[in-house]
Amino acid sequence: MESNNLKKTDIIFGLCNCTSNKKYPVLAEVIQKTPNDIITEIIDSGLKGRGGAGFPTGLKWKFAAAGNNPEKYVICNADEGEPGTFKDREILLKVAGKVFAGMAICGYCINASKGYIYLRGEYKFMLPGLNKALLEFHEIIKELGYNFTIKILLGSGAYICGEETSLMESMEGKRGEPRNKPPFPVAEGFNNLPTVINNVETFVNVTMIQKYGVEEFKKLGTQDSRGSKVFSISGDTPNSGVYELELGMKLSDFVEEYGDGDTKAVQVGGASGFCVPRKKFDETIIGFEGVPTGGSMMLFNSSRSMYNVLSNYLDFFAEESCGQCTPCRVGCQQLVQGIKAVKKGVKDEEYLDTLLKLSESIKITAKCGLGQSVANSFFSIVTNFKEEMIY
């Protein structure tokens, strides 16, 4: 396979004049087109959700646009809570205007007049800046002819509220307990009305696609992973921080650029993601066709105990699970206690196979993505680093 060298981009954070000069020129252009045209463009661009789930954005908007319900909503999921993810933090601090613009474009497309940003409670310090920017934004777009206002709602310390239905439950004043799907948010979302909920970065991409055009966007990335992605890199790296790269790169290229020379494993996609061991770096593609990520990339060198890593992730899930469904609530506790018991020698190493089978059951029976993803890191760490689980 031909090697892909890392391609850095500057779409998300770069100056583009689309939202500057306090005029939001990109929105002036958008309103000249029909909602249908814009949705077609977004579909054509191949843009997929940037929060981690990767659902085709244009398709989501198309579903929400259909149907004559007079009241619909646009929600920006800014509950960035996946361990190792902090890219939305930077996007909101540096280019919030692009996020607002993307939301306004969505509102225009699906005929929604109300937008919400659900901002994680840990980012409360951003509120004064965001509210100030919003004031200006509202004034400008009103003049441009948009009927759209954005309100910011704060989270209160619950990772699960990053799950779309849990987020909506929280907005409705309830416990963040995920709902049954179907129905999906585009049909019955916030207040049981049609809702588009997208990640912060996804909305920025929409704005940029409108600014630069679909063809420019399609030049980046691969067939299955169009465009660029913002990554948040941390751990055993001399270069912690936020970086924008084209999707579809080889993990080995990534490690060569960002590792410390002794990278043993990369956790792609946070605690809900996959742990890739050194021997698989070369064959692993970072993108929707390989291992997808919401942006979190954690690097571990050979001094690190993968048992500690897994233990930390499992404790996290056991604590942050909403607790409603049996496989996740009890299953996570069993995984936590299980690896402890094997490590201590209270259970023998065959018990790891019992736990692997259990994690598979959790994956296919849990009510939401949190439970369904626990098996990802469990499976990848236990199978690739079995000795570290036992000795």
Partner 1 sequence: MINLKIDNIDVSVESGTTILNAAKKLNIKIPTLCYHPDLRIAGNCRICVVEQKGARTLTVSCATPVAEGMTIHTNTLKVRTARKHIIELLLSEHNSECTKCYKNGNCELQTIAAEYKITNENFIDLVPLHNYTIEHYSPSIIKDDSKCIRCQRCVRTCEELQSVSALCVAYKGDHMKISTFLEKSMLDVVCTNCGQCVNRCPVGALVEKNHIEEVWNAIYDPEKHVVVQTAPAVRVALGEDLDMEPGTIVTGKMISALKKLGIDSVLDTDFSADLTIMEEGTELLTRLKKALVDKDNTVALPMMTSCSPGWIKFIEHQFPELLPNLSTCKSPQQMFGALAKTYYAKKRNINPAKVVSISIMPCTAKKFEADRPEMRSSGYKDVDYVLTTRELAIMIKQAGIDFKTLSEEKFDSIMGTSTGAAVIFGASGGVMEAALRTVYELITGIEIPFENLNITPVRGMDGVKEASLKIEGTLPEWNFLEGVTVNTAIAHGLVNAKKVMKNVASGKANYHFIEIMACPGGCLGGGGQPIPTDSDIRMKRNRAIYQEDTGMKLRKSHENPEVIQIYNEFLEKPLSHKSHELLHTTYISRKN
Partner 2 sequence: MTEVQEMIINLANKHGSGRESLIPILQAIVEKQNFLSEEAMNEIAEQLDISAAQVFGTASFYSFLDTKPRGKYIIRVCKSIIAEMKGKKEIIKTLENSLKIKVGQTTSDKMFSLLETNDIGWSDQEPSMLINEIPYTNLTPEKVITIINEYRSK
In the complex, the residues that contact partner 2 under the rule CB under 8 A are 80-86, 89, 120-125, 153-159, 170-176, 232-236, 240-242, 296, 298, 304, 308-309, 312-313, 316, 319-320, 322
Main-chain phi, psi angles of 310, to 5 degrees? -65, -40
Binding status of residue 269 toward partner 1 by CB under 8 A: no
Binding status of residue 365 toward partner 1 by CB under 8 A: yes
Q: Mask 220-259, x = binds partner 1 (CB under 8 A)?
A: ----------------------------------------
Residues 173-192 that bind partner 1 (CB under 8 A): 175, 177, 180, 182
Pick 135 or 364: Cβ nearer partner 1: 364
CB of 290 to partner 2, least distance (A): 23
Pick 352 or 381: Cβ nearer partner 2: 381
Binding status of residue 327 toward partner 1 by CB under 8 A: yes
Angle subtended at Cα 240 by Cα 238 and Cα 296, rounded to the nearest 5 degrees: 130
Binding status of residue 330 toward partner 1 by CB under 8 A: yes
Pick 299 or 362: Cβ nearer partner 1: 362
What distance in Å separates the CA atoms of residue 175 and residue 313, rounded to the nearest whole number?
A: 23
Pick 123 or 385: Cβ nearer partner 2: 123
Main-chain phi, psi angles of 242, to 5 degrees? -105, 130
CB of 73 to partner 1, least distance (A): 23
CB of 89 to partner 2, least distance (A): 5
Sole window of 96-104, 128-136, 209-217, 314-322 interacting with partner 1 (rule: CB under 8 A): 314-322
Pick 309 or 355: Cβ nearer partner 2: 309
Measure Cα distances from 234 to 2, 245, 282, 295 in Å.
28, 15, 20, 11
CB of 309 to partner 2, least distance (A): 5
Pick 27 or 339: Cβ nearer partner 1: 339
